[in-house]
Amino acid sequence: MSLPALDMDIISSPFRIVGILGVFYGAWKYIEAKRSPLNAIPTVGNSGVLTSYITALKWLINGPELLQEGYAKYPNQPFKIAAISKWVVVLSGKQHVDDIRRAPDEVLSLAEAIAETIQTKSTLGPLDVHPHHEITVRSGVTRNIAGKFDEIRDEIVEAFDEYLPASEDWVTVPAYETVMHIVCRTLNRFFIGVPLCRNPGYRALQEQFTFDVVLSAQIINCFPGFLKPLVGNYLTKVPKRTKQAMEYLGPIIDERIERIEQYGRDDPDLPNDVITWLLDTATHDYHRSKRDIVMRVMLLNFAAIHTTTMTLTQCLYDLAIHPEYVEEMREEAINAVAEHGWSKIAMTKMRKVDSFMKEALRLNSVGSYIMNRKALKDWTMSDGTFIPAGTFIGVASAAMGVDEALFPDARTFRGFRFAEMRQGDGELDSIKHQMVALETDQIVFGHGRHACPGRFLAVNEIKTMFAHILMNYDVQLENGSKIRPPNVTVEGSIIPNQKAKVMFRKRKST
C-alpha cells in the first residue's frame, strides 16, 4: 500500500523543485525590477513582474497602439514598455532624436541592437565586425544611380510587362507579392545585372531570404547564448540559402577576381556592379573571399527588397483610394520625363509625386519604433534621464508623424502637403521636405551618421516605378473599394496588408 504514495512523492518532487525555483526566480526578478534605474521612467501598460507579460503580449501584437498611448500621455518624455525579455525605452521629439544622433557608437550601438534582434552572427555571419558594405552603398551604389538609371528604367518596363501587361480590362493582382517581384528584379538589375536578375530561382532566393532570416532569428532567440551558433547552423534554413546563393554568385565572383588580377581595376570591360564595388571597398583579405562577398550581396538584398516593397505597396494603396491626386501627379510626371527623359534629374522635378509618397509614409510607415539602439554604457540624456547599460531604446516615429503640433490636420491624408512646404525653393530645389531628407519631425530613414545609406537608391527606384504606374495605368482596389487595407503590426513594425488585391488596366483617363 505504500508504493503508490512513494510513486507520488517521486513524481511530485520535480514539480516541487520547479515551483521553488520559480518562486526564487520571481523574487529575484521582483527585487531586480525594484532596484532598476528604469523605475524612474514612467511605464505604459503593466509594470509588475508577472503582469508586465500581459503588456509584452500586447506589444508583440499591437505595438503602435502602445506607442501612441505613451506619446499622448508623456509628450516629449521618455517612457517604457514591457517586451517579452526586456524593457524598451521610447523617446520622441526633436531633442531626443538629436540626443541619439550625437551619442557615440561605444555608448549607443545600432549594430548591437540589430545583432540581438535578428541574431546576425548566427544568421548572416560576422559581417558587422567590419561592415564595409555600408561604404559600398555610400560610394559605389549612390554614385552609380544616375549612370545606371537606364538599366533601372529598362528593368521596370520589362518587369511590369511581365507581371502587369497593359490590358483594356481590369486585371486583379495581389499587391504586395506583385510589387515584391518587380522590386526584386529591378534592384538586382542594378546590383548584379542581366541575366541573373531575371533568373526565377535567383529572384525567389532573394525574396525568401528575408523571411528565413527573420524566422531564424525568432528560433535562435529561444535558446541560450552558447547554443545559438549551433541552432543557427542546424535548425534554420539560412545555411541552405547561403549554399544556393553561392551556386549562383560564386562563379561570377571567381571570374571577376581573376579578371581584376589579370587586367587591373581600370579594365574598361569590367562590369560595373555591386561585386566590383564591394571589391573596391574591401580592406581585408577575407573581404575578397567568395563567401564574404556572397553574404554581403545577400545582406544588401535583405535590407532593400522588403522595405522598398512595403513602401511602394503603401503608396499604391493610397493611390487607389485617393484618385483626386492622380491627374496632377500624372501631368507632372509626363512633363518631367518630356523635358529630362527617364533620368535621376526627372525624378527630382516630380515634387507632387515625392510629396504624395512621403505623405503615404507619414501615415503608414514601415515602422512605428525606429532608430533602435542598445546602450553599451550608462547614458544620461540631455533632459537628465538616466539610461542604464543594456537598455534598448528607440523613437516613436509613427506617433510623431500624426502630432498636430508638427503636422496640422495630421490625421488627414493631404497628398501635396510637402510640395506646398517646398514652394519658394525655386531652381535651388532644396532637399528639405523631400522624401530622402533627414528631418526630426518625420523620421523615415533614421537620422545622423547611421541614417539609411541606401535611401537615395530606394527613393529613386520607388519614384520611377510610381511614375511608371501613373503614366501607364489606372489603379483601384479590388472591386473599386475605397477602404484602405488594414496594416499588420508586429511589435514596432508596420507591414502593409499582404492579402489585399489591386486592380490595374491600361490608362484611359487623360
- Tell me how far apart the alpha carbons of residues 450 and 366 are, in angstroms, rounded to a whole number: 17
Q: Taking a C-beta distance cutoff of 8 angstroms, is the pair 503, 477 a contact?
A: yes
* pLDDT for res 8: 42
Residue 134: predicted pLDDT: 80
What's the pLDDT at 474? 96
pTM given for the model: 0.89
Which residue ranges make up the annotated binding site for heme? 452
Tens of pLDDT along 447-461? Answer: 888 888 888 999 999
For position 424, what pLDDT does the model report? 65
Distances from the Cα of 97 to the Cαs of 77, 116, 418, 438, in angstroms?
12, 22, 21, 11
DSSP 33-65: HHH-GGGGS-BSS--STTTHHHHHHHHHHHHHH
Amino acid present at 141: V
Is the CB of residue 492 less than 8 Å from the CB of residue 367? yes
Amino acid at 11: I
pLDDT at 98: 93
Backbone angles phi, psi at 504, to 5 degrees: -125, 150
H/E stretch holding 386 reads: strand 386-387
The C-alpha atoms of residue 97 and residue 322 are separated, in whole angstroms, by: 32
211-258 tens-digit pLDDT: 888 777 777 766 666 677 776 676 677 788 889 999 999 999 999 999
From residue 121, alpha-carbon distances to 215, 277, 376 in Å are 15, 24, 18
d(CA 374, CA 234): 28
pLDDT at 92: 92
Please report, in range form, the residues annotated as the binding site. 452
Packing angle of the helix pair 200-220, 238-263 (nearest 10 deg): 130
Nearest to 240 by CA among 186, 298, 188, 288: 298
For residue 322, what pLDDT is reported?
A: 97
Q: Cell match 539609411: residue?
A: 452
pLDDT value of position 21 = 53
Contact between 418 and 354 (Cβ < 8 Å)? yes
Confidence at residue 133, expressed as pLDDT on a 0 to 100 scale: 80
Chunked in runs of 10, what are the mean pLDDT values of the chain (510 residues)?
44 51 49 72 86 89 94 94 89 92 93 79 65 81 94 97 93 96 96 95 92 76 70 73 92 92 86 92 81 90 91 97 97 97 95 96 92 94 93 94 93 94 63 83 84 90 97 95 93 92 87
- Give the Cα-Cα-Cα angle 113, 114, 116 (nearest 5 degrees): 70
| Amino acid 425: pLDDT | 56
Closest CA to 386 of 107, 155, 197: 107
